[in-house]
A and B are shown apart, each in its own frame.
Chain A
Amino acid sequence: MTEYRKMDCDLLVIGAGMAGMVAAARAASLGIRTILAGNSGSLIFVSGMMDYLGVYPMEARKSVADPALGLAGLRAAEPDHPYGSVDHEQILQGFDFVKKVLGKAGLAYHLSGGRNLSVLTAMGTLKPSFMVPKTMEKGTRLFGETAEKKSLLVIDIKGLQGFSARQVAAGMEHRLARVIPVTVEIPGISQTIPPIVLAQLFEDPKVQEAFVRQVLAFSDKVDIAGMPAVCGVHNSLGIQQRLENLTGLPLFEIPGLPPSVPGLRLKNAFETSLAASGVTFLSNVTIKDPVFNGKKFTLTGSTDNRELSISAGGVVLATGRFPGNGLHARRERIVETIFHLNVHQPVTRSLWHGTDFLTRQGHLVNRAGIETDKDFRPLNKRGAPVFDHLYAVGSILAHNDWIRLKSGAGVCLVSACAAVDRFHKRRSKAGP
C-alpha cells in the first residue's frame, strides 16, 4: 500500500473562500484537474448576498441604481481597480456562472436583470446587492413604486440574538404603509440559540408548524412577511414554500449578522458542487514553500501530521486579505504570505489610516494588496508578471476597497472566472 503524499494537478487554488471556490468551480467546468486547499469555514461569515457595485463614487450618499453606469465611472477614474481588467458583460457572465453552479448544487439564487436590488437588512436598512438567495427575492420586490401601499410583518424569533423585529420595523416605518413586528416562540428554546442551530431546527416539521401557528393570526393583516434567514440549512427554498403555503403569506428572509445561515448554505453548495465535479479539496491544508522549476510549481501542503508535495501547472492565489491570512501586516510593511509577492501599499505605516476613522473615502490600507496585469497575474516591482501561470484573485487584489464600494462578491467571482479562463486559454495554446 502507499500513502498518498505526492499530488499532481493542473491548477492549484489556494484559499477556499468566495474567490477560491468560484475559481475551483470554474476550473472544474473547463475540465482542468484542480486541487483546492484552504479553510472554507470563513464562508460562513459572508452574508450570502452577492454585490456587483453598490456604491460609486465612494463619497456618494446614495447607492448606485445601475451598476453598469457605476462601473463605467469606476473604470474611467480608477483603471487599476480589478474591475478595470474586465467589462460589464464578463461580470454578468460571472454572476450567471456562479448562479448556475449553485443552482446545480441545489441552492437557488435570484440574479438581478440589470439594476441593483434593495435588500432589507437586520439593521432595518436597505442595502444594494445584485444577486441574492431565492429565499430573499420577494423582499427585494417590496421596495418598488407601490411600497407606500404595502404592509409588512417582521418576524423575529425568541432566543435568536442580533435580530430584532422592532428594530427592522422602526427602520422601515416611513417607507411602507404599515409594519408589524412580532416575536415567535419556538417550543424548547428557553435561552439564546445560535442562528445555524435554529436553522437546523426549522427543518423539523413540528417547529415549522409551531411557527406557522403563531404567524397565522397576521396573515390577513399584512401583504408579506419577513423573517430572519433561518429557513433551514438544507432545502431552504422548499421549507420557505411550505411555510408560505401554511401561512398563506409570501415570505422572505432578511440577512443578519455573521455567522450566517445563507453563508453556510453557500459553503455547503460550493462543497457539494466541487465534490461532484471531481475537485480535490484539501480542507485546512496550509500551502507553503512554492518552488518553480520553469515548467511547474511544486508546493508543500502541510496538514497536521504530514507534508504533501503538490505539483501544479498553475496556481490561483485566493487567500484573501488579513483575516484569511493572505496578507500579513508586519510592524512596518504588509507582506504576502506564500509567494512573498510585491504588495502595493502606502510607503509608511503612518499613512495606512487617515485621521477620520469613519471617512467615506476609506483608508489607504483598504486599497493595499496585490497588483496584477489585465490577466490577474501578480506583478513584480518592475511591472512584469512574476510567473506565467500564477494568478491572484478576490479580495487580495489591490485598489479594491470592496467594503465601501459594496463590490466584494463581484470582484471575487469575476476575477476568479477571468483568471481561470486566461489560464485555460494560455495553456491550451501552449499545450499539445
Chain B
Amino acid sequence: MIFRILLYGVLVIFLIGLVYRFRSIARKSRFFERDKEPWAKKIFNFTATGFLFNTLFQIKLFKAGKLRWLVHGLVISGFSYLLVVHALDDVTSMMFSWYQPGIGPFRFLRNLAGVGVGLGCILFLVRRMNRARNIRETGDKGGLFKGTVSIFLILSLVGSGFLLEALRIISEPRFDEMVEEYSGLDEAGGLNELRAYWARNYHLVLKEAIPFASADFETGKALNQEYCLDCHERPDPAFVSSFLAGGITPIGNWLARFRVDLFLYWFHYGAGLLLLAFLPFSRMFHLVAVPVTSAWKKSTHVNLKKQMGLLEIFSLTACTNCGFCSQVCAVYPNFQITGNREILPHVKIDVVKTMAGKGLWDARAVARLRSGNDDCTRCGRCGDICPSGIDLVRLWTAADHLMESLGFPDNCTQALGTSFDIWTQPFPLPQVPGTGSSPGLADRVAAFEHCVQCTICTNACPVVAHDLNQNDLGPHQIMNLLRLGRKQMAAGSRMVWHCLTCYACQELCPQGIRVADILLELRAQGHRTAEQIKVSQLTNQGSDK
C-alpha cells in the first residue's frame, strides 16, 4: 500500500515537473526577428527518419565517437531493459505470463543489464574526471558536476539492486517468509531438508548449520521441485549478485538478522522513485528532449534567414554537455587566444539557457556570450556533430536575436548608436588577454604621418561611393583624425565599421600607408569600447533598480 502511495506521489511530481517544463517551453519558445518584438509561433518541421534513427540508434553519436556510443548504448539499453522488465514487472508480467524474475535467464539478463548500466555510468564519471583535469588547464570549471547527480543516482540504484539481490539470496528470514507464504511447510514436513538443499544449491546462509544427509538431500530436492522451482532456479546465472552473495556470506547471518535486505529494498525502490521524480528537472530530461530535437528538421542557410531564430526549450535541455561541438568548433582558436569560454558551443548553450530564463542577469556574462556568439562563423559543424540532434546554428541565431530584443546589440550597432560624447569618454579599455604588447599601426606615428591628404583612398573607396549621404568620413579623414591624436573618435566612425576590407585604398596609396589595416585596427579598438559601454550601461541600469 505504502509503495503505491509513494509511487503515485512520485508520478505526480514527475508529471508536475513535465508540465512545468512544458509550460516554460510555451513561455520561452520565441521567434526573434531583428527590430521586432519577439513572437511565439509553433513551427514543427518533422523528420521521421531523424527521429527514428537518432532516438533509437543514436547514429549521430555513433558518427561522433564510437566508444562513447558503445558506453551510452550500454547504459541506455540496460536501463530500458531494467525499466521495462524489472521495474514495471507488474505491468509487463500481465502480458507475458511466463515471466518470472527468479528463473535463470531473467536473472542473468537483469544482472547483465545492471552491469551495463553500472559500467557505463562509471565510465561517464571517469570521463568527467578526465575532462576536469583537462579543463583545469584551460581554466574551465563550471558545468562539470551538474550532471553527476543523476549519474550517482543511477549508480546507487544499480548498486543497491545488486546488493539487494545478493542479500535476498543468502537471507534466512527471507527464506522463512517465502516458505511460510507459499508452502506452509513445517519442520516435520521437511523444512529442514529444504533448507539444507537451499543452503547447498541456492547459497542460503543458515544461522545454524544443518547436518547433511543424502537422503535428506533427495527430500529437499523433491520439495524444492514441488514448491520453489517454478519461480526460483539456482541463483548462479545472476553472476554479479551470486558473486556478491559469496562475498558477504561470512556476515550474511548478521545482516539477515537485521533485515538489511528490507532496508535495501526500500533504498532501491526509493532511488528509483527519486530518479523518476528528478528526471524533468535534471540533465536526464534529455531523455525526453533528444527525441524531440532529433525529430526536428535542421535549419538550412536559407530558412535560417527566413525563419530568423526560434529559441525553444527542447534544444536547450537536450544538451548533455558532451563537448563534441567544442572539439570541432571552427573558432576554437579564438578561445585559445582570448580565453573567452563563451566561444565554445557547449558552454554557450548553458549561458543561453540561463539567459532565456533570467534575461540579462549578468552584464559581463552576457557580454562574453555576445562576443563569443559574434565570433561564431555559423559553419554548422557543431550542429552536424551534436549527438543530441540539437539544431545549434538555429540556436545561435536565436540567441543573437534574443540579446538584441533584450537590448544587448552587436558591437557595430552599439558603436554607431552611441553619441560621440559617450563614445569618447575615457573608458578603461580592458587589455584583451594575449594581445601583443607592441603598439599597433594607429599608435605609431610613422605608420600614417606621411599622409598628404591626397584623397586617393577616399576616391577609391566603394563605401564612400555607395553610401555617399550616410557615410561620415572618408579614409583620408580618418588618417587626419589620427594625426590629430583622436584615435578614439576615429574608432567610432561609420567608415571604420562599414569598411569592406577591399584594400583598394591601401593598394593605391601613393605614400604606402596601410590604410585598410589601420581601419581594421581601429575597428578592433571600437569593439572593445562598444563592449565596455554596453556592460557599463547595463550595470548602471541594474543599480538604478
Chains A and B touch (C-beta atoms under 8 A apart): yes
Give chain A's interface residues, CB within 8 Å of chain B.
39-42, 44-45, 188-191, 193-197, 200-201, 258-259, 264, 283-284, 323
Cβ A194 vs Cβ B512 within 8 A: no
* Interface presence of B84 (CB below 8 A): no
Known contacts A259-B456, A284-B512; A194/B507 CB under 8 A: no
How does the 8 Å CB contact mask read for B501-533 relative to A, with 1 for contact and 0 for none? 000000111101000000000000000000000
Cβ B459 vs Cβ A41 within 8 A: no
Give chain B's interface residues, CB within 8 Å of chain A.
454-456, 458-460, 464-465, 468-469, 474, 507-510, 512
Which one of B454, B460, B508, B512 lies within 8 Å of A258 (CB-CB)? B454
The 5 A-B residue pairs with the shortest CB-CB distance in the complex, in nearest-first order: A196-B459, A41-B508, A42-B510, A197-B465, A194-B459
Chain B residues within 8 Å of A194, by CB: 455, 458-459, 464, 474
Chain A residues within 8 Å of B464, by CB: 194, 197
Chain B residues within 8 Å of A197, by CB: 459, 464-465, 468
Known contacts A188-B468, A197-B464; A259/B459 CB under 8 A: yes
- CB-defined A-B contacts under 8 Å, sample of 23: A39-B509, A39-B512, A41-B456, A41-B509, A42-B510, A44-B508, A45-B456, A45-B510, A188-B469, A194-B455, A194-B458, A194-B459, A195-B459, A196-B459, A197-B459, A197-B464, A197-B468, A259-B454, A259-B455, A259-B456, A283-B507, A284-B512, A323-B510
Chain A residues within 8 Å of B454, by CB: 45, 258-259
Cβ A191 vs Cβ B469 within 8 A: yes
Q: What is the CA–CA distance of A195 and B460 in the complex, to the nearest angstrom?
A: 10
* Beyond A200-B465, A264-B459, 17 additional pairs, beta carbon < 8 A: A39-B509, A41-B456, A41-B508, A41-B509, A44-B456, A44-B459, A44-B508, A188-B469, A189-B468, A189-B469, A191-B468, A196-B459, A197-B459, A197-B465, A201-B465, A284-B507, A284-B512
Q: How far is the CB of A150 from chain B (nearest CB, A)?
A: 33
Chain B residues within 8 Å of A188, by CB: 468-469
Cβ A41 vs Cβ B507 within 8 A: yes
> Of all chain A residues, which has the CB nearest B459?
A196
Q: How far is the CB of B104 from chain A (nearest CB, A)?
A: 68
Q: How far is the CB of B99 from chain A (nearest CB, A)?
A: 69
Q: What is the CA–CA distance of A188 and B464 in the complex, to the nearest angstrom?
A: 13
Chain A residues within 8 Å of B474, by CB: 194
Q: What is the CA–CA distance of A201 and B469 in the complex, to the nearest angstrom?
A: 14
> Of all chain A residues, which has the CB nearest B517?
A304
Q: What is the CA–CA distance of A39 and B454 in the complex, to the nearest angstrom?
A: 15
Q: How far is the CB of A265 from chain B (nearest CB, A)?
A: 13
Q: How far is the CB of B122 from chain A (nearest CB, A)?
A: 51
Q: How far is the CB of B456 from chain A (nearest CB, A)?
A: 5
Q: What is the CA–CA distance of A195 and B461 in the complex, to the nearest angstrom?
A: 12
Chain B residues within 8 Å of A193, by CB: 468
> Of all chain B residues, which has the CB nearest A193?
B468
Q: What is the CA–CA distance of A195 and B455 in the complex, to the nearest angstrom?
A: 10
Q: What is the CA–CA distance of A190 and B468 in the complex, to the nearest angstrom?
A: 8
Which of B460, B464, B510, B512 gathers most chain A CB within 10 Å? Answer: B510
Which of B455, B460, B508, B509 gathers most chain A CB within 10 Å? Answer: B508
Chain A residues within 8 Å of B468, by CB: 188-191, 193, 197
Q: How far is the CB of B474 from chain A (nearest CB, A)?
A: 7
Q: What is the CA–CA distance of A195 and B190 in the complex, to the nearest angstrom?
A: 117
Which of B454, B474, B509 gathers most chain A CB within 10 Å? Answer: B454
Chain B residues within 8 Å of A323, by CB: 510
Q: What is the CA–CA distance of A44 and B504 in the complex, to the nearest angstrom?
A: 13
Cβ A41 vs Cβ B458 within 8 A: no
> Of all chain B residues, which has the CB nearest A263?
B456
> Of all chain A residues, which has the CB nearest B505?
A41
Q: How far is the CB of B447 from chain A (nearest CB, A)?
A: 13
Q: What is the CA–CA distance of A197 and B505 in the complex, to the nearest angstrom?
A: 13
> Of all chain B residues, which has the CB nearest A195?
B459
Q: What is the CA–CA distance of A258 and B464 in the complex, to the nearest angstrom?
A: 18
Chain B residues within 8 Å of A191, by CB: 468-469
Chain B residues within 8 Å of A201, by CB: 465
Q: What is the CA–CA distance of A360 and B468 in the complex, to the nearest angstrom?
A: 42
Q: How far is the CB of A200 from chain B (nearest CB, A)?
A: 6
